[in-house]
Amino acid sequence: MTDTIINLETVNPIEFFGVNNGKLDLLKKKFPLLKILSRGTQIKMSGAPELIDTAKEKIDLIIQYLERNGHLSDSYFEQILGGDDAETVDNFVEKNPNDILVFGPNGKTVRARTVNQKRMVAACDKNDIVFAVGPAGTGKTYTAVALAVRALKNKVVKKIILTRPAVEAGENLGFLPGDLKEKIDPYLRPLYDALDDMIPADKLGYYMSTRTIEIAPLAFMRGRTLDNAFIILDEAQNTNDLQLKMFLTRIGANAKAIITGDPTQIDLPRNMQSGLHKASRILQNIEGISHIELSEEDVVRHRLVKAIIKAYNKDAEDDHR
């Protein structure tokens, strides 16, 4: 039988113990063979040494998280306690805190999780324009939005502009119900979803109302000069040559831009070439422009997505033989 005392002086004990000691109860439930008591800013544990060591590792993780973020939801508290699988450990054991891009609502951390996502972050830090190309589910858009939110929070830029071509609508846009915003919002929804993960709803609403964060179809960029902004062009494979050139020439002073796209999912008419192909070719070896290629190894969605992408790639290779 061993006794151990852990001090919580560096964090808010209420955040650690929870309302009505709800989080403390979760801790006790996780380690039923330990006697766990709270005394002010201390936790006292009694029990078998190996169980105490395991519990202390979890508590240290929670303390580190609270020291960085200040808040941890009950669900995330419970995930850390149960984090025995590789993905959960990867999410919470921050071997390199610099991997964290943004702290989102409810204590969520947004970070680069794969090798190429980390290359994308490094490229953005060193260059003003980054092309991030790869298949669905590789985190291109999500990482780009996280980088933009980080830049805004760190006051590196004054605004974020997110744009996509509404190519799926084509000339049928006018036949969709609702006003212009209601017509185009479905094509911009992935950008809203990413922002929801990174900024509290009330603050996001404020940013949108003051145009600190702007989401608009690519056509709305024409004629503008975008200074002091972080600009993301998503689904760039669905731009033609002139559209992508127009976008790239909007970039003004103290601005950064990320262009994301999936060359395997082009929705343009058959007689129209994607502008992403040409831009990727002619803008190589220009200082300040970086090109990052993501692959199925970077897929962070459901495990089957990676298998699906591999199957389609194999079929495409077979067709070209």
pLDDT of the residue at 146? 94
pLDDT of the residue at 168? 52
pLDDT of the residue at 177? 55
Residue 103 lies in a domain: no
Whether the Cβ atoms of residue 305 and residue 146 lie closer than 8 Å to each other = no
Q: Which residues contact 47 (CB under 8 A, 6 or more apart)?
A: 1, 2, 31, 33, 34, 35
> Which 3 state secondary structure label does DSSP give 142?
helix
pLDDT of the residue at 300? 66
Are 123 and 56 in a shared domain? Answer: no
Kind plus residue range of the DSSP H or E element containing 321:
none
pLDDT of the residue at 187? 67
pLDDT of the residue at 87? 45
Are 58 and 130 in a shared domain? Answer: no
The DSSP call for residue 228 is S
pLDDT of the residue at 90? 46
pLDDT of the residue at 233? 95
Residue 140 lies in a domain: yes
Are 222 and 299 in a shared domain? Answer: yes
pLDDT of the residue at 134? 92
Are 74 and 124 in a shared domain? Answer: no
Are 74 and 123 in a shared domain? Answer: no
Return the CATH number at 115: 3.40.50.300
Residue 106 lies in a domain: no
Q: Which domain holds residue 44?
A: 2-93
Regions of the chain where pLDDT drops below 70: 68-70, 83-99, 106-107, 167-187, 300-303, 306, 319-321
Residue 76 lies in a domain: yes
pLDDT of the residue at 113? 78
Tokens coding 287: 């200082």
Are 87 and 145 in a shared domain? Answer: no
Three-point CA angle 285, 115, 54, nearest 5°: 160
pLDDT of the residue at 169? 41
- Here the contacts of 8-11 (C-beta below 8 Å, separation 24 or greater) are 8/41, 8/42, 8/43, 8/63, 9/41, 10/63, 10/67, 11/63, 11/66, 11/67
